[in-house]
């Protein structure tokens, strides 16, 4: 990717019918990998709670943790469109000004291109205020990981007609409010395709079928590392980095214990260097 990916780039890709690619990233190294591979957008998702920070779900992730990781991702990628995923209770409370200030930190301190927050029509007041302030917003409807306790677990949303109608109304409301993109998570592919055709904003699918404008996946699922081996139905593993890493570390342990590492070439000596 030669040029910086922007909101305008995303809009142009939707108009041309070209698929955009988003991936999660949580540090400078993974951001560099993704940019070199041609990924357009990086989501510093609150999935860091599960995949990086060792939490059982996304809810414990703090604003400061998210800010720190978002800044690291920005330092690793100068071309990708970086989205900071606002964690639980950083925007849902009634303090509208505080929510906007929290969102502004991603732009001002991290150099992010947008923020993402979960929820449909109930979130419109804070979304509108953020956009009025000049902060690009990515919406998120369907399966909402930050509401997993309220929902009693992870499940598909939009199978029932009432839920389907509500999601369409949410998507149209977010679109009219000015969201630059809308994540559709855990919704039937037919519904995701219909919403994509109804809104001007780019839709980003995860567990929503191939009919969205873009796709996002969690890096740990994609590369096969950091988890307990469970792979969600919507994901595909393209490598097994966990086995590669454990094998390499095991070899290092063995060589240290056997006295093989460090070898002469891995250290310096006070003895005069022999001439060739």
The set of residues, in sequence order, having a beta carbon less than 8 Å from that of 171 and lying 6+ positions away, is 120, 139, 141, 182, 184, 195, 198, 199, 203
Q: Measure the CA dihedral 83/186/173/212, to 10°.
A: 70
- Is 266 contained in some domain? no
Please give the residue range of the domain that contains residue 175: 7-239
Backbone angles phi, psi at 14, to 5 degrees: -65, -45
Would you say how long the chain is, in residues? Answer: 276
As given in the structure block, the two tokens for residue 23 are: 């991936």
The predicted-structure confidence for 10-43, as pLDDT tens digits, reads as follows 999 999 999 999 999 999 999 999 999 999 999 9
CATH number at residue 133: 3.20.20.60
- Is 247 contained in some domain? no
The predicted-structure confidence for 84-140, as pLDDT tens digits, reads as follows 999 999 998 878 999 999 999 999 999 999 999 999 999 999 999 999 999 999 999
In order of 5, 141, 210, 255, the CA distances from 131 in angstroms are 19, 18, 29, 56
- Is 272 contained in some domain? no
pLDDT at 230 over 60: yes
What is the reported pLDDT for 274? 67
CA atoms of 208 and 81, how far apart (whole Å): 22
Q: Are 83 and 103 in contact (CB under 8 A)?
A: no
Q: Which residues pair with 187 in a beta bridge?
A: none
Angle at alpha carbon of residue 192, lines to 48 and 143, rounded to 5° = 35
Choosing from 65, 118, 185, 194, the catalytic residue is 185
User: Which residue carries 């109804």 as its tokens?
Assistant: 198
- Is 249 contained in some domain? no
The predicted-structure confidence for 41-67, as pLDDT tens digits, reads as follows 999 999 999 899 999 889 999 999 999
Average pLDDT in the chain: 95
Q: Are 181 and 139 in contact (CB under 8 A)?
A: yes
As given in the structure block, the two tokens for residue 12 are: 């142009």
CA atoms of 53 and 75, how far apart (whole Å): 20
CA atoms of 110 and 77, how far apart (whole Å): 12
Known catalytic residue: 185?
Answer: yes
Q: How many domains does the chain have?
A: 1
CA atoms of 128 and 179, how far apart (whole Å): 9
- Is 137 contained in some domain? yes
- Is 273 contained in some domain? no
């Amino acid at each position: 990717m030669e040029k910086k990916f922007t909101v305008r780039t995303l809009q142009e890709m939707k108009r041309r019918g070209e698929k955009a690619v988003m991936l999660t990233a949580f540090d400078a190294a993974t951001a560099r990998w993704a940019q070199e591979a041609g990924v357009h957008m990086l989501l510093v998702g609150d999935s860091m709670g599960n995949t990086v920070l060792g939490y059982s779900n996304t809810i414990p992730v703090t604003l400061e943790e998210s800010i720190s990781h978002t800044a690291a991702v920005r330092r690793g990628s100068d071309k990708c469109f970086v989205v900071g995923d606002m964690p639980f209770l950083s925007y849902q409370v009634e303090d509208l000004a505080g929510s906007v200030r929290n969102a502004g930190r991603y732009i001002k301190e991290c150099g992010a291109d947008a923020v993402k927050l979960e929820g449909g029509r109930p979130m419109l007041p804070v979304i509108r205020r953020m956009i009025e302030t000049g902060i690009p917003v990515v919406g998120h409807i369907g399966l909402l990981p930050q509401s997993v306790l309220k929902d009693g677990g992870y499940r598909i949303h939009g199978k029932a007609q009432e839920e389907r109608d509500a999601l369409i109304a949410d998507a149209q409301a977010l679109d009219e409010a000015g969201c630059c993109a809308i994540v559709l998570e855990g919704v039937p592919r037919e519904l995701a395709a219909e919403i994509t055709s109804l809104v001007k904003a780019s839709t980003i699918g995860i567990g929503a079928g191939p009919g969205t404008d873009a796709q996002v996946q969690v890096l740990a699922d994609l590369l096969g590392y950091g988890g307990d081996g469970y792979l969600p139905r919507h994901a595909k593993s393209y490598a097994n980095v966990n086995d590669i890493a454990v094998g390499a570390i095991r070899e290092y342990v063995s060589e240290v214990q056997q006295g093989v590492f460090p070898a002469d070439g891995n250290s310096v000596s006070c003895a005069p260097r022999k001439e060739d």
